[in-house]
Each structure stands twice: as structure tokens, then as C-alpha cells.
Amino acid sequence: MIGLKLKDFQEKAVDFLFDKTTDIKSKRRILLQSPTGSGKTIILIGYVERYLNYKGDDIICWFCPGKGELEEQSKEKMEKFAPNLKTGDIFDILNNGFEQGTSYFINWETITKKDNKAIRESERKNLFERIKEAHNQNLKFIVIIDEEHQNNTLKVKDILDSISAEYEIRVSATPNKRIVGEFHEILETDVINEELITKAMYINEDLENIELKNFEHETMILLEKADEKRKNILQEYKNENEDINPLVLIQFPNLNDELIEKVERKLEEMGYSYDNGLVASWFSADTKEDKKRKSKKLGKINIGNSVEESITKNNAKPVFLLFKQALSTGWDCPRAKVLIKLRENMNETFEIQTLGRLRRMPKAKHYGKEILDCSYLYTFDEEYKRSVIAAKEGFETKRLFLKKEPKSIRLKKEIKNLDGNYVDEKLVRNKIFEYLKEKYKLTTSKIENRKKLSNYGFEIGTVLKREYLSGRFRIFNEIAKIKKGQNEIQIEVNTYAHGIELRPKIDRLKKVLGISYGKTLQLLQLLFYKDFKNSQYNLLNLNLREFYAFIINNADILKNDFLEFDVKISHQFQILNIKTVEFFIPEEEHYKFIPFEKNIRIYDSNVYENYDTSMITEDFRSKSERLFERYCENNPKIKNVYKNGDSGQQYLSIVYTTNMGKQRSFYPDYIVQLNNDKIWLIETKGGESKGQDKNIDEYVENKFSALKHFSEKYGYNFGFVRDKDEELYFNNTKYEKELSKDNWKFIDEIFDGI
């Protein structure tokens, strides 16, 4: 896409959608769970662009919910980032019919509401007639349903049944997982790591010991606390030289206009009003009071579905936005950082989507400052708080302060050298060549190499292998037990017809290699294609048709080989000019905790005051972490324990390189100080359960080597800790997967010798 590079998780989602819609074995319905702020629209545009480049005669019908003019926003984004694609809307369909290779953006309300202006009841058949015309021309459809959890009505079903799409892609942050089909989930953690959304949402920060007098008093407390937080955020933005004016959202319960007036009066007392442009509102104008507010037009944004730039721009003037209903789908205001949810004396429906409006980062980056990298919710509505926590959109947090003694702890930390963050393509080429030769025992004889690779499961020839399932199955479980198709068909490769199929295979490999598509293709040609320069690196001497078939048939094997190569320990790559700076434990930290936990016990060994067991439940911590912190608390030789963060400039980091030469940052889990002031750096990993390895980190050996090198360089002690049968095992010699190896000792054997 023009001027836009997809994030890794976005590319994986595009790959998934493309693979499933070009595989005849895929289920017709495809479900994509995409968290708010993950760039859902960009992912879909990236997919459509790739799909139509592959199969340009098909039609894309992109359905959007009625609120927020989302279909217009999506259409505008496609025209901006993929201007080569043809777009249209419902009126283009009705006036001219469907045109092949075009993406049509359709608002559900324009085709399902009886009183809509786009299609009257008497004209409604026109849409069905246009669909029929397209089918008569043998045109094929792909349907995209944005925010799929909405508009699940019979009318919608009629339209979808009429379109009878080849594939139906449903996308939502909160999808209906009961739908049977292919499923791909974008993890919220991946979106956080790419710095597109906030690291966490804090609920009722610094409100633990507030004494409330009445309902009106609690409302005023929330306003004051939210304004204090807004001012602090604003100051930190100024410290970063950012022109961003943070916004506070105030959500009111329905049927409570009196409360709105009280809040407006309180805001005026605080210096914020419609007259000075610091307050805006978004009401439906259903009540007399709302109509009065609308008629004033004092500093307010548009009432209804459209939102002016004056409220969404990063430096817009209003600092409070008042609203009743959940903010419309598609409304995007990254500067919104704080939400006040006011309650009434009755339970009310909670819309999780409102919280998504607080998750976006204004400039798609983290600052390494907790106050800027998080969002904030203030409410005394207990049911609302529980709903938020249950939905994992946020957590109750406590602000803890560093004890006096640990303030003296000073360590070294490493920061990636961005100028040196490149891949030495020649060195990678040489090493992969040697790696494949060694793994598969290859020689200079191309004929022998073909035999050996075939014996290892590689398909070599000019035939593409396809599998399909057939037979009679009594129950679904019988089908589930069959991992591959029972029957196979063979297709002679055609370099013209299958060239498009080759590209996504190379796309998969380039992500592991960390180089461009062109360089990846060049490397593959160098290794396997006979008509390429530097023949001393060629392993197979494949002709062009054989080369196409080899990559298409064996992409999965090659991907696993490249990943296996990447995680191997290497000392040949050196990072130039790693920046080493001083690390000290942050003066304060916000810890998630379970507010309803009983029998809380404070851990005195932790470096922060009032750190307790409600902060290390299985909701937040792995089993090995929970066992290790408990061990430290009960060990009299340990004076201080600090739980390091997972990412961010304020935490202890170590830089290492993969075998491909890519830089990575590693954040050891714990800093432990003993009574004799010796420092230990500890990393916890998944252990063993019933003989199975629970570690899921493919780069665990790289991190072990990096931590060992870093600790020896600066004079720290170090170790990896894993769990098995409620016991902890410790290793600081050589990493081994099996805990039965001699390198793994009971943790007491290490610390008892101190």
C-alpha cells in the first residue's frame, strides 16, 4: 500500500485471509478477531489489494454498521492507501450494477431500514435484481462484514443468502465465536508491542481511600480526579514536546438530564464551559434538554453520526466531551485518554466498545512513561468495573512507591542501536547455505542432493500437490481426526498461472529472514534455481518450472528451516555501538490487582511499599513467576525483589542478535538483591508438566546466552528459573530443555550456598 508498511501482526492477518480465500479446502465463513486500535481497516484493505491482484474479476462487498459513517471512512482509506483499486457504494450498484474487480462499501441501514432514503420498500428488489444480474454474468463475490456482531437480522441474512459469496469474512473486536468457520485472532499483546494502543487501562487510580458522602459528591470527586489526571498527562506531553491536548470523556446514564446539568455547572466552576470552547457534547437530541443544547451550538461538535475535526485532532481545544450513548462505531479520537462513567441507581447495559476509544496512541508510539502509555477509567459503578475486568479491557490498579533502601540500586542496561539494525544479506546467505548443507548432508552433486531432500520430505519436480477430503463420516469427530486430505491430485505447474501463488509463499519466508521480498526471492533463486549467478551456492539446479513447484510445495518446510536457523546461537553477528546507560528502579509503579481477592498478604521483600498477593494471581503472572516470588518472600537471605517490566524505556533491557542478525531487546523478569548486596538477574520460563515442555519462547537459548554474557560483563549473578511439580529449578551454566539434565538444580541448592 502507498506510503504504509504493515506491522508484523497485520501482515500475518492479511496472509491468513488471503490463504483461506484462495484455498478450496477452506470453510466458507472466516472470522477475524481484531482488537480496537489494531488497524482493522488497513488489514482489510491490504487483503483486498492482494486478493484482487490475484483474482481481479471478483467483486468485494464491504458491509459496515450504520453508525459513524464507517463505510465512507473505510472507502476513503482504500482510495488513499490503495488508489489503484476501484471503489463504489450502494448507489453505484443500483444505478449501474456490479462491476468486476470493484470494492463496494455498503451501510447496512441503507438497505435494511424501511424508511431509508437509499432504497424505498418498493425499490428494495432492485438490489436483489442487481445481484441476480451479477450471478448471470458468472461474477463471484467476496463479502466483508465489518463489526460482524452487529446487524444480525433476518433482512441481513436474506441479503447475504442472495449474494451467495464464495467466502464471507467477518471482522470484529468482539466477534460471535459460535460461528463455524476459519478463525484467526490478533492478540492484544501484539498490538501493544507495536505501540498502536495503550499498554494498560487503569481503573480508579488513587481512589482507594476516598470517603463518599452521597451520589452527587462522588460525581464531583470523579470530575476533579479526571481533570487532575488530564493536566498531568498534558504536562508530560509538553515535556515530550508533543502538541497533544488530552481529552476526558464523560458518559452519562440515559434518562438523567438533571445529572448532565449538574456536571455542566461543576465544569463551569472548574473553568470549563461551552462558551470558552473547552466543553463539547454529543447528544441525540431526543429530549427537550438535548434540543436546547443543540440549539445553543456553543462549542459543540455535530449532533448525530458525523464528528468534526475540531474534536478529533490531536491539538483540538475541547478537553471534556459529554455523551449519553456509547460512542459510535468508527469514531476515532486517539487523544481521548480518560473516561468518567457516571452511574445511576440501577444496573445498565455496559458497552465494552466505548473503552476501545481510549486505547489508541495518538502518534502510534509509546513514550516509556506510564502516564502517557496508558489510559484511565474513573467510575464508582461496581458492575461496570467488574465488566471491564472480566472483559480484560482494563484492570484495577494501585500506585505503589519505591522504598528508601532500593533507591540506591544502580545497574547497567543496553538499548538497541537503530543505526545498526540491518541484516547482512551476504552473511545470511553464506550461513543458510552452510546450514542447509549440514542439516541435509548435501554435497556438490545436484543429483544426489535431489535424492536426499526427497528422502527428507521435500517435493521435487514440476507437479503441484493438492489434497482433498472425501468419504462418509458419521460424526464431526471422525472428520476432526483426519489431519490431511485422504486423496491427492497433481497439477503441472504453469509459471504464468501459478506465479501469483508463488508470491504469498515468498512473503511468508521474507518475514522469517527479515529482508525484502526481492532479496528473499534472490536468495531462493541463488540456492535452488540453475539460471542464477554465484552458482557455487546452488544446491539443486532447478529449471524455472521446477523452481516454482519447489517453493510452492515446500514453503512450510523452508519456513521451519529458516526459523530453526534464526534461533541458533551465533557469535558472528556483532551489534555496533550498543548504547549502555544507567538503570535504576522507577520511583513509582502501577500494578494491576484483583480487587475482590480475599486473604491478601503483603510481600515485604518487594521493593515497593504495600506490594501484595492480589498483584501476582494467575490473571497476571505465570506459574513460575508466582512460585518464584513466593520463594523469595520466604527466603531470609533475600533482601529486595523487583519485577521488571516487559517493554519500555524505564525497564532493564539487554540487547542480543538472532542468527539472522536482527536486533532484539530482552527484559529479564527479576532483579534480586541479597543481604550481602549481591545482585542476581533472574528470568522465569515455563517448566514441565507431565513430561511436556511448557516453554513457548523459541528464542530461549538466545536469551540465556545474552543474559549470561551481560551478567559476566558487568559482574552480576544470573539464572533461569522453571517450574515442575510445584518445585523451582535453577540453571546458570548451559540451557537444556529437559529439567532432568544435570544443569538444572533445585533452587535451594543455589541460594543455600550463598
The answer to whether the CB of 78 falls within 8 A of the CB of 45 is: yes
Ranges of the chain with pLDDT below 70 = 1, 3, 66-68, 113-125, 148-154, 176-180, 208-215, 254-256, 284-309, 325-331, 343-354, 381-396, 418-424, 466-489, 533-534, 569-577, 596, 752-754
Give me the pLDDT at residue 232, please. Answer: 95
Q: What percent of the chain is helix, strand and coil (3-state, nearest 5)? A: 35, 20, 40
Nearest to 537 by CA among 549, 546, 525: 525
**At 569, which amino acid appears?**
I
Cell numbers for 528: 535452488
109-113 CB contacts, 8 Å cutoff, 24+ apart: 109/66, 110/66, 111/155, 111/159, 112/151, 112/153, 112/155, 112/156, 112/159, 113/66
Q: What confidence tens digit (pLDDT) does each residue in 353-371 have?
A: 567 778 889 998 888 888 9
Q: E strands of 34-176, at which residues?
A: 59-64, 86-89, 102-107, 141-146, 167-172
Rounded distance, CA 754 to CA 742, Å? 20
H helices then E strands: how many in the chain?
24, 28
Nearest to 25 by CA among 554, 480, 485, 501: 485
Residue 346 DSSP label: B
Cell numbers for 646: 516487559
Going 383 to 388 to 390 to 396, the CA torsion angle's sign is negative
Cell numbers for 567: 534461533
Where do we find the cell 468518567? Answer: 340
Give me the pLDDT at residue 738, please. Answer: 87
**Exposed (0-12), middle (13-18) or buried (19+): which is 193, by Cβ within 10 Å?**
middle
Going 204 to 208 to 214 to 220, the CA torsion angle's sign is negative
- Domain architecture of the chain: domains with CATH: 8-192 (3.40.50.300), 200-393 (3.40.50), 425-566 (no CATH), 598-751 (3.40.1350)
The answer to whether the CB of 106 falls within 8 A of the CB of 61 is: yes
**Exposed (0-12), middle (13-18) or buried (19+): which is 125, by Cβ within 10 Å?**
exposed
Q: What confidence tens digit (pLDDT) does each residue in 93-144 have?
A: 999 999 999 999 998 877 876 655 445 544 445 788 999 999 999 999 999 9
Region of residue 285 (phi > 0: left; psi between -120 and 50: alpha; otherwise: beta): left
SS3 of 383, please? helix
Q: What confidence tens digit (pLDDT) does each residue in 573-597 have?
A: 455 567 889 999 999 888 888 776 7
**At 655, which amino acid appears?**
V
Residue 400 DSSP label: E
